[in-house]
Structure 1
Amino acid sequence: MGAVQPCSAEYLADKSRRLKVCGHPLRLQLLCAIFHTGEPCVSQLWECVGQPQPVVSQHLAVLKENAVVSSEIKGNRRIYTIIDPFIREIVQAIINDEDVLASRRSPVASV
């Protein structure tokens, strides 16, 4: 067997920084909402997460400053998209895991 090549410290530092940005529970909730909704506007997001618009906007700004999401104006709405492929895959895995856990908790229909 060949020797295992560890990831470089620089690579891991970058991944760690990106995970830390998304580690806040509300930011993670926003990312899941963006993933589920496709291209939501900020009002859809604050309704979805049940937080005031200024709080949601503040967290979206952090995600945007760190190149996790982007925003674009469409008509009279500013819509959000996950642009970081690494984070997008993690969000998808979280959603898939939640779906698996939910299916395990649901009662099995009797035949």
Structure 2
Amino acid sequence: MSYDLVIKNGLVIDGSGGARYRADIGVTERTISKIGRISGVQAKETIDAEGHVVTPGFVDGHTHMDAQIFWDQLGSCSCYHGVTTVVMGNCGFTLAPCREAEADLVFR
């Protein structure tokens, strides 16, 4: 099997509450397709994570990005720290209602 991305030699903490473990991670079409030892396969990109921790993306349940998302659609301040999902509007402030053309920015 070939992968788009292989992350090798990482210390995996998967968020399940189980013990951490050393593993390789194979990614195909932006989906994790294997966690375990991967050897002798082709990958478009390989990252050596030796000495690093590999985790799933983190969820930040309390942010103040409601306005920022309009000028920084990547939410850079969060993604630089491993956050892949944020909750907005949790302090009683949000930019909704919004124009229909911009609804995908608020509700995605």
Instruction: Give the TM bin, normalised by the shorter chain.
Output: under 0.3
TM-score (norm 1): 0.23
Structure with the bigger percentage of strand: 2
TM-score (norm 2): 0.23
Structure with the bigger percentage of helix: 1
